[in-house]
Every structure is written in structure tokens, then in C-alpha cells.
Amino acid sequence: MNASMFDDGLKAVQALQKSHPELAKLIKVVTKDSTNPSLADLRIPTAAGAFVQETAASLWPYKLVSWILENLLSSNSTSSAKGRFNLQTNTPCTHLQKTPTSWIIHTPRGMIAAPRVLLTTNGYTSHLLPKFADLIVPVRGEMSALLPPKKMSEKNKLQHGYGFIGHGKQSINQDDYLIQRPFEKGGELMFGGGRSYAANAGLGVSDDSSIDEPAAAYLREELNVLLDLGNEGRELEASHEWSGIMGYSRDGHPWVGGVGEELGGGEGLWVCAGFTGHGMPNTCLSAKGVVELMFGGEAGVPRCYLVSEERLERARSLDEVAVADEKGTLY
């Protein structure tokens, strides 16, 4: 939505064309002068430009995780405890304690001892490891399910998902995103973002039991401005509104690997956290990578994801998350 941000994106695509031309072929650049499609065809006539990618997939994260857990539970052997999967819900870890041979996990329901512990705690990591407080910061995001306008039918439903960058006072790392559910399931416009309108941009908030009212209002009102919905600017009605906690990393990358004593850990403690609002494209292979490390293999993740003293020093030389977020340099 912002010309300078579009120019930055264009430079990134041009760099990709030189370094990985096969990947670059998957991206179509749409400018104000483009046709077939034009910005109006994409229902974003006021945008500075767009990058269109058709090669994509949709999935429902909650259903995916539920299926994984059900599959693990149903595959348990009743004859042996070896290798069994044990799921304890509503059982927060409140404290970690190191012993010579194991880690003790304290919970309100008792303690568990394990030689290896993996923290997939994202925005809550510093609750257990306070030395991560400046490295992974909790950030509350806002989400809504908006009822489609009466004029929107199956015939003129959205043909794309959208990421809106640079609208209003939103910075490059405060983007909005949108998909539409199938009409046979209700056709809701699943619209999230508006973080710059939240109190302190949601930074440092770890409570997702309530919503941020200004951000929620932005989502109901602003989609008409962003997108041509034929709704004459009327506020959309939300069937559901909720918030969620992300973990923003100081250097923009997830933290994957063993936690050393300099971060409050020691042998046997591992972490996979800090996805900075980009969990879906990063969590699965990051988790696979850290498990490979735990069992003595090599991690199949970018080197910049791995936990190390060198990375720790480099990350702490950068702006803190709140400063980088305000500058629009954290993404």
C-alpha cells in the first residue's frame, strides 16, 4: 500500500531473479500499469503494487495439530511404557530445575524429571529462562472473523489470500493478512493485524484472554478501505474476535538448538522458539531440526537459526525489539 515499501519488495524480487531464478518465476509483479491482472482485478485499486504467487497451500493449524496429537495417542502401545506419548493438558510448566543427571519440570500437578527437555514456548520463553527476556519478546496480535457483505456471494468471493503492507500507519513488520473461508462454511473474511493501533503495538503483552479494542475496531472498519468489497465503506460485523501471543525475536530469526549456561540452561535443555509472527512457514522444519540435534545429528535449518554465543552477542548488538519495531526494521 506504500510506494517505498513496494520498491523495497521489488528490489528483493530482482535479487531473487539473479540468485534463484526458478523461485523468482513463481512470483508475478503487478504495478499500477499492469493488466491481466491489474490492481483493480486483484480488488486493490489503491495499492502501490502487488506481488502475486499462485503456488501456495491452505491449512487449518488447529486441525493439523489435533490430528497429530490424536495419531500419537492412538499409536501408543499398552504393553510397554517405552516410547509412549503422554499428553498433559492444562498443566503449565512454572519452573525448571537442573540436577546432575536431569531437568526437573515443576507444574501445579507435580514434578517430572527428564534427561532432555525441549522448550517450544515461543513468546513465553523468558518466563522459564529470564535471560531470553530481551531476545524473545511476547507480542499480542489481533484476529477477527468478519461476516462478508450482503452483496458478496459465492460468485464474487475472493480469489486470493492477501498480505497488506504499509497501509495507514502500519510499518513493514505490522502487516495485515486476509483469507476467506469457503462459502459453504460461512464465507467469513478471516482478517488479522492492525497491531500499530493496539496499545504499545501489543509489545510485552502475554495475556490473550482479552482483545485489544482499537485494533479490533480497525479490523472491522479498515478492510473496506484496503479491499474493494462493494460494501460502500460500512463497518463489517464480526462473528468472532480474539487475540494470540507471538514471540518476536531480536534478530528476526527463530532460536533453535541447545540452551547454554549463558542463557540459564545447560546440558539437556533445548529450545525452538521466537518465530516473530511467521510460525507457519518455520515451525515444522525448525522442530525437525532441533530434534535431529537432540539425537546427535545435524540440524537441517539455516545457520542463523541456531543458538550460539556468537549469535547471542550479535543479536544483543542490535536494537531491542520495541525499538526495531517502531523503526520498521524488524521483519
pLDDT at site 155: 85
User: CA–CA distance from 66 to each of 60, 70, 85 (Å)?
Assistant: 10, 6, 14
Q: What is the pLDDT of residues 225-276, one digit of tens each?
A: 899 888 887 899 999 999 999 999 999 999 999 999 999 999 999 999 999 9
- Indicate the length of the chain as a whole number: 331
User: CA–CA distance from 68 to each of 9, 19, 72, 177, 226 (Å)?
Assistant: 36, 36, 6, 26, 36
The type of residue at 178 is L
Q: Would you say residue 83 has pLDDT above 70? A: no
pLDDT at site 233: 78
pLDDT at site 81: 58
Q: Which of residues 233 and 205 earns the better pLDDT score?
A: 205
Q: In what order do the strands lie in the sheet with 117-119?
A: 117-119, 269-273, 255-258
Compute the distance between CA of residue 176 and CA of residue 186 in angstroms, rounded to an integer: 21
Q: What is the pLDDT of residues 92-106, one digit of tens each?
A: 999 999 999 999 999
Terminal Cα distance for the chain, rounded = 17
pLDDT at site 79: 61
pLDDT at site 183: 86
φ and ψ at residue 27, rounded to 5 degrees: -110, 130
Compute the distance between CA of residue 287 and CA of residue 290 in angstroms, rounded to an integer: 5
- Fill in the DSSP letter of residue 236: P
